[in-house]
Amino acid sequence: MYMLSKRDDSSTSPVNRNFYDDVMCGLRQTEKSLPSKYFYDAQGDVLFQQIMHCPEYYLTRCEEEILREQREDLAPCVSLGDDVTLVELGAGDGSKTFHLLQCLVSNYKHVTYHPIDISSHILKHLEADLGNKLPELSIDSYHGDYFEGLAALQQQGHTPKVVLFLGANIGNMPKAEAMQFCIRMRSFLNKGDKVLIGFDLVKNPRIIQAAYDDEAGLTRRFNINLLTRMNRELDADFNEELFEHYCHYDPTSGTCSSYLVSLLEHTVLFPEDEIHFDKGELIHMEVSQKYLPSEIDHMASETGFAPVKTFTDKRGWFVDVLWEA
C-alpha cells in the first residue's frame, strides 16, 4: 500500500527522523518554535538566493563589497607561505567567497577550499560553479553538520587553516549560544589557525526591520516554505493559508525575530502527533542577532580568540572580523 510504504520510508530515514524529532520538540513547547536550519531545502535555497538579491536585504551586498574590495588585504591574512587552506561553514553557493578565492589562486601555489554546508543542493551547485571558474582550486566539500565537518578535517592532519563563517550566519544563534559556538569552534583549531566571522552590526532599526520584511514577500515565502517542507517530508497537514509571517526587530537587544502567526484556532496533524494552535498563536522561526562592535570584541576575549583585524564596508553596516586561535 502506497501510504504505508511512504510512512515506512520517512520513519526509517535518519534524516527525516531527526527533522521530525526537532520539529516536535519545538512545537510541543508552550512558546512554539521551529529550527531555522530546516529552511534550506531546494525551494528554501532558491528563496534565500532571491532574498539575497532583494533591495532591502543589504547584508549580502555589504559583505560582498568587503570581500571584493578588500581581497588584497585579506589574502595575506589567510595564507601561510605558499599554501592556503580555507574551510567555510555554511558556504552556500560560494559566490561571495569567490572574490577571495580568485585572489588567492592567482597569488598562492596550493589553495584548498573545504566548504561545509547543510544543503546538498547548494554544495553541488558550488562545486560545479567554482570548479568551472577556478580550475586551479582544490575543492573538497563536506555535506552535513559544521562540527562533524571540522572533526573530519582535523582527522586528516594538522595543516594551518582559516575557518570562514560568513554572511552573519552566527546571527542565527542567540548571543550566549554564539559564544558557545565560538568556544567549540576553537576546540577544532590549532594555535595560529584563524577564523573570519561575519557579523551584522546594529544600525537604524528601520533598515534592519525592512531587511526581514521585504516588499516582495520573499521572507514571508521563505518562512512559509518550512510548513510546505513539513507537509512533504513529515506527512503533516499544515494549511499555509492559515499562517502569516511577522518579523520584529528589538533595537534594545539587537535581536530580530521572525514568527509565523496562526490566523485561526486549528489543529495540525502529523502521522503520530497533533499540534493545536490558538488563534493568534506564534511559532518562533528565526533569530537574526545584530551586534555592537564592543560586543564582538567581548565575544573574542570570552572565547579565547585574539582579534587580528576588522574589515568593514563603506557604510559601516557589516564587519568580517579576523581572529587568531
Residues making contact with ligand AVJ (CB under 6 A): 51, 59, 167-169, 171-172, 212, 219, 222, 286, 288
**Contact between residue 238 and residue 227 where contact means Cβ atoms under 8 Å apart:** yes
Q: What are phi and psi of 300, to 5 degrees?
A: -60, -50
**Residue with Cβ nearer ligand AVJ (53 or 124):** 53
Q: Identify which of residues 103 and 208 has a Cβ nearer to ligand AVJ in the complex.
A: 208
Nearer to ligand AVJ, 47 or 134 (CB): 47
Q: Which helix (H) or strand (E) holds 149?
A: helix 146-156
Nearer Cβ to ligand AVJ (65/286): 286
Using DSSP's 3-state secondary structure scheme, residue 321 falls into strand
Q: Among 118, 142, 155, 133, which Cα is nearest to 42's? A: 118
What minimum distance in Å lies between the beta carbon of 178 and ligand AVJ?
Answer: 12
Within 13 A of 13's CA, how many CA atoms are on the CB side? 12
Smallest gap, in angstroms, from Cβ of residue 54 to ligand AVJ? 9
Q: Which is nearer to ligand AVJ, 119 or 169 (CB)?
A: 169
CB of 286 to ligand AVJ, least distance (A): 6
Chain residue whose CB lies nearest ligand AVJ: 288
Q: Between 149 and 171, name the residue whose CB sits nearer to ligand AVJ.
A: 171
CB of 247 to ligand AVJ, least distance (A): 8
Q: What is the residue type of 255?
A: T
- Least Å from the CB of residue 52 to ligand AVJ: 8
Q: Are 164 and 156 in contact (CB under 8 A)?
A: no
CB 204 within 8 A of CB 56: no
In the bound complex, what is the minimum distance in angstroms from residue 277's beta carbon to ligand AVJ?
Answer: 22
Q: In this structure, are residues 18 and 145 in contact, taking their beta carbons and an 8 Å threshold?
A: no
Lookup result for grid cell 563563517:
165
Calpha distance 64→167 (Å, rounded): 9
Three cell numbers written together for 60: 549580502
Cα angle 287, 116, 38 (rounded to 5 degrees) comes to: 40
Q: How far apart are CA 93 and CA 108, in angstroms?
A: 23
Pick 89 or 105: Cβ nearer ligand AVJ: 89
Compute the least distance from the CB of residue 207 to ligand AVJ, in Å.
13
- Three-state SS for 180? helix
CB of 10 or CB of 172, closer to ligand AVJ: 172
Shortest distance in whole angstroms from residue 119 CB to ligand AVJ? 11
